[in-house]
Chains A and B, each alone.
Chain A
């Protein structure tokens, strides 16, 4: 049974409240980088939130980044600035104070705690310390119902199954209380993929290793939160993670360090519709071009926003599209949840992907003469074949027959 959590970020407005009251999302993961704890605490007094559906990511991993990126984290006087290896080794008092502070804040708004973890881009001390800090929390702070180990893992680590097996072995050996994992991928701007502007695109080997990794962790007995997702949340709900999470902005659906390099300039924001039949985050402009030749009702995801979208995509606001994203995902995750075992979930999702590819093929046939539209369609669907290949590779690796 997979539930959906909102990844909190800047400009929250009434977004969280609407999504939870409309039942399209089940809870929220707060980020102290985006809002001070005092303000989060006030917000948590709203009755649509409670200590069971609220999570609090301490975002300790930012302490390895340049401190100009800290935003509100800097307001916390105990937040470790540019942490070093020795700080944990010598049990630096400042770090222990920070842990105490995180425990105190978490316990005010949540019954579960996400333990501080560093961004793991290779098998080194950052990984060791992350595991040790989790164990330290389990041992020293008994007041929580659940403990989630932060695993913020660099995309490059998933290139090799051997590295993943080593990670898994260490987690299995070092972690005695196998309770929860708060997982997300730290993406890199891959030069090779820069010509493909598709948020879901990932090579099949990497993606299959991610699925394999999460499946193994689940089999070890961990509850899993897979955070910062786009529509690929579907793949994680296919393997039965407990929570998938994503926010209202693209940066809250795909965690990347590199995005910080480009914050000084901004381009045009595009209205995008989350199409479950196409398993794509489809621009309104492209949908409009397609509608000139075809009836596009097959794109619709079955949300209250469909009619307006089909008539004129521009009548919906960005905020409407953010809600549509959650409603569409929520509906399809419910359907995946209703499949009773992993094998059936895989068959169900593979069928969804095949159907999406067929829809795209039909559109490509219809617009065969129009190169520009064909290119945009190919870009928009580039992830689908990769997903199919990745699922097969995952089945092989996880020995799912």
Chain B
């Protein structure tokens, strides 16, 4: 990515909105796990903002000559250009690009209309011609904290601590998910490295960062399907590439993988990964067998734990309809997990 140009754009947009201070500096975000490219805006070493670029056109395997980019200022221009110059399935590409843009705009809306679920978004531009692509940019608050990934791998946790922390996390995150589901948004990338932990006077809160985007894939592409690391936290429908059929139950599936890992330190998709099969099918068939055994190897049985396992099982169903029918039923079932009532 052309960071020099990106910095120029961000600085200009921030100045327009009186957000820029002369003491600010840019710091490139080398952590490239997220699906967007980003850069921090720091003040005296403190990360204040993060600017992100969501490239809508990156999956389209066509290199448009640099000089022609001068005439392309919007997704519509881009689609017209491809149609007039290349032998591509433009109607399908157009549907795919519209979905990508929708992921971006729904994220901005969900951020603006919820509290403490996502970082605050200060501004966004829906369509911009940048770095020989079309995408959306946004500026949001930088979240300083540890990721859930670092946290759940903490070996110091006792069994008891682990279950307390896990259930607290599960309750808080499911309420937040309910909030953004209600804004018609699906995150698509709820991996532990995208959940930040904030601790204030011993009370933990969780902020979700870096939403995933739809992948537009070609049947004829020789490139890898989806990056393997992201497959480790994916629903079956995302793993197979059916991005447009993703709904709130897809995030519920991914959370099921995360919760199981929180308790057992086992990532089930990694455990059942083989290049030629859908690991989710294997997971489905093992839920009453070894997966249950590993679970109870990690944690002592109790009515609460049994109930937790039942919920995880429901979250990890291959068929979307078998997971939870409504976002309300999901959040209310999680709410019934009561640490005090357990004996």
Does B102 make an interface contact (CB < 8 A)?
Answer: yes
Does A269 make an interface contact (CB < 8 A)?
Answer: yes
Contact A10 B90 (CB under 8 A): yes
Contact B94 A10 (CB under 8 A): yes
Least distance between A186 CB and chain B CB atoms (Å): 17
Least distance between A262 CB and chain B CB atoms (Å): 7
- Tell me the nearest residue of chain A to B102, going by C-beta: A68
Given contacts A11-B79, A13-B84, A68-B99, contact A264 B244 (CB under 8 A): yes
Does A175 make an interface contact (CB < 8 A)?
Answer: no
The CA-CA distance from A81 to B182 in the complex, in Å, is 13
Q: In the complex, what residues of B have CB within 8 A of residue A269's CB? A: 87-90
Number of A-B contacts (CB under 8 A): 85
Given contacts A264-B242, A267-B89, A268-B220, contact A11 B83 (CB under 8 A): yes
**Which of B156-164, B209-217, B261-269, B300-308 is the contact stretch?**
B209-217
Contact A12 B92 (CB under 8 A): no
Does A302 make an interface contact (CB < 8 A)?
Answer: no
Contact A263 B219 (CB under 8 A): no
- Tell me the nearest residue of chain B to A66, going by C-beta: B247
Contact B80 A13 (CB under 8 A): yes
Q: In the complex, what residues of A have CB within 8 A of residue B95's CB? A: 10, 71, 260, 263
Q: Of A9, A11, A263, A317, which is within 8 A of B244 by CB?
A: A263
Does B67 make an interface contact (CB < 8 A)?
Answer: no
- Which residues from 111 to 158 on chain B have a C-beta closer than 8 Å to any C-beta of chain A? none
- Tell me the nearest residue of chain B to A262, going by C-beta: B92
Least distance between A240 CB and chain B CB atoms (Å): 31
Does B245 make an interface contact (CB < 8 A)?
Answer: yes
Does A249 make an interface contact (CB < 8 A)?
Answer: yes
The total of chain B residues at the interface (CB under 8 A) is 33
Q: In the complex, what residues of B have CB within 8 A of residue A249's CB? A: 90-91
Contact string against B for A residues 290-324, beta-carbon threshold 8 Å, 1 for contact and 0 otherwise: 00000000000000000000000000011100000
Least distance between A318 CB and chain B CB atoms (Å): 7
Interface size range of chain A in the complex:
20 to 34
- Which residues from 74 to 114 on chain B have a C-beta closer than 8 Å to any C-beta of chain A? 76, 79-80, 82-84, 87-96, 98-99, 102
Contact A266 B215 (CB under 8 A): no
Contact A11 B242 (CB under 8 A): no
Least distance between A102 CB and chain B CB atoms (Å): 22
The CA-CA distance from A264 to B188 in the complex, in Å, is 15
The CA-CA distance from A264 to B238 in the complex, in Å, is 10
- Tell me the nearest residue of chain A to B82, going by C-beta: A11
Contact A264 B91 (CB under 8 A): no
Q: In the complex, what residues of A have CB within 8 A of residue B89's CB? A: 266-269
Instruction: Choose among B83, B241, B243, B245 the residue with the greatest number of A CB atoms under 10 Å from its CB.
Output: B83
Q: In the complex, what residues of A have CB within 8 A of residue B80's CB? A: 11-13
Does A362 make an interface contact (CB < 8 A)?
Answer: no
The CA-CA distance from A35 to B74 in the complex, in Å, is 12
- Tell me the nearest residue of chain B to A82, going by C-beta: B184
Contact A266 B88 (CB under 8 A): yes
- Which residues from 222 to 261 on chain A have a C-beta closer than 8 Å to any C-beta of chain B? 249-252, 260-261
Q: Of A266, A318, A319, which is within 8 A of B92 by CB?
A: A266
Contact A265 B91 (CB under 8 A): no
Q: In the complex, what residues of A have CB within 8 A of residue B82's CB? A: 11
Contact B98 A266 (CB under 8 A): no
Contact A266 B219 (CB under 8 A): yes
Does A67 make an interface contact (CB < 8 A)?
Answer: yes
The CA-CA distance from A11 to B78 in the complex, in Å, is 9
Does B290 make an interface contact (CB < 8 A)?
Answer: no
- Tell me the nearest residue of chain B to A252, going by C-beta: B91
Does B218 make an interface contact (CB < 8 A)?
Answer: yes
Contact B83 A318 (CB under 8 A): yes
Contact B90 A11 (CB under 8 A): yes
Least distance between A250 CB and chain B CB atoms (Å): 7
The CA-CA distance from A185 to B286 in the complex, in Å, is 45
Contact string against B for A residues 10-21, beta-carbon threshold 8 Å, 1 for contact and 0 otherwise: 111100000000
Q: In the complex, what residues of A have CB within 8 A of residue B76's CB? A: 10-11, 35, 39
- Tell me the nearest residue of chain B to A317, going by C-beta: B84
Given contacts A10-B90, A10-B91, contact A319 B84 (CB under 8 A): yes
- Which residues from 36 to 84 on chain B have a C-beta closer than 8 Å to any C-beta of chain A? 76, 79-80, 82-84
- Tell me the nearest residue of chain B to A72, going by C-beta: B98
Q: In the complex, what residues of A have CB within 8 A of residue B243's CB? A: 264
- Tell me the nearest residue of chain B to A260, going by C-beta: B244
Q: In the complex, what residues of A have CB within 8 A of residue B87's CB? A: 268-269, 271, 318
Least distance between B77 CB and chain A CB atoms (Å): 10
The CA-CA distance from A263 to B82 in the complex, in Å, is 17
Q: In the complex, what residues of B have CB within 8 A of residue A264's CB? A: 96, 214-217, 241-244
Given contacts A68-B244, A261-B245, A264-B217, contact A11 B94 (CB under 8 A): yes
The CA-CA distance from A43 to B216 in the complex, in Å, is 30
Q: In the complex, what residues of A have CB within 8 A of residue B241's CB? A: 264-265
Q: In the complex, what residues of B have CB within 8 A of residue A13's CB? A: 80, 83-84
- Tell me the nearest residue of chain A to B80, going by C-beta: A13
Contact B244 A251 (CB under 8 A): no
Instruction: Choose among B91, B94, B95 the residue with the greatest number of A CB atoms under 10 Å from its CB.
Output: B91
- Tell me the nearest residue of chain A to B103, going by C-beta: A68
Least distance between B72 CB and chain A CB atoms (Å): 13
Q: Of B91, B92, B216, which is within 8 A of A9 by CB?
A: B91
- Tell me the nearest residue of chain A to B186, going by C-beta: A68
Given contacts A10-B79, A261-B244, contact A251 B91 (CB under 8 A): yes
Least distance between A63 CB and chain B CB atoms (Å): 14
The CA-CA distance from A298 to B241 in the complex, in Å, is 44
Nearest first, the 5 A-B pairs at minimum CB distance are A266-B89, A10-B94, A263-B95, A11-B83, A266-B92
Q: Can you give 15 A-B contacts (C-beta < 8 A)?
A: A10-B90, A11-B76, A11-B94, A13-B84, A67-B184, A68-B102, A71-B102, A250-B91, A251-B91, A260-B244, A263-B95, A264-B244, A265-B217, A266-B88, A319-B83
B-binding residues in A (CB < 8 A): 9-13, 35, 39, 66-68, 71, 74, 81, 249-252, 260-269, 271, 317-319
Contacts A263-B96, A264-B244 supplied; 7 other A-B pairs, CB < 8 Å: A10-B91, A13-B84, A68-B99, A261-B242, A264-B217, A266-B96, A267-B219
A-binding residues in B (CB < 8 A): 76, 79-80, 82-84, 87-96, 98-99, 102, 184, 214-220, 241-245, 247
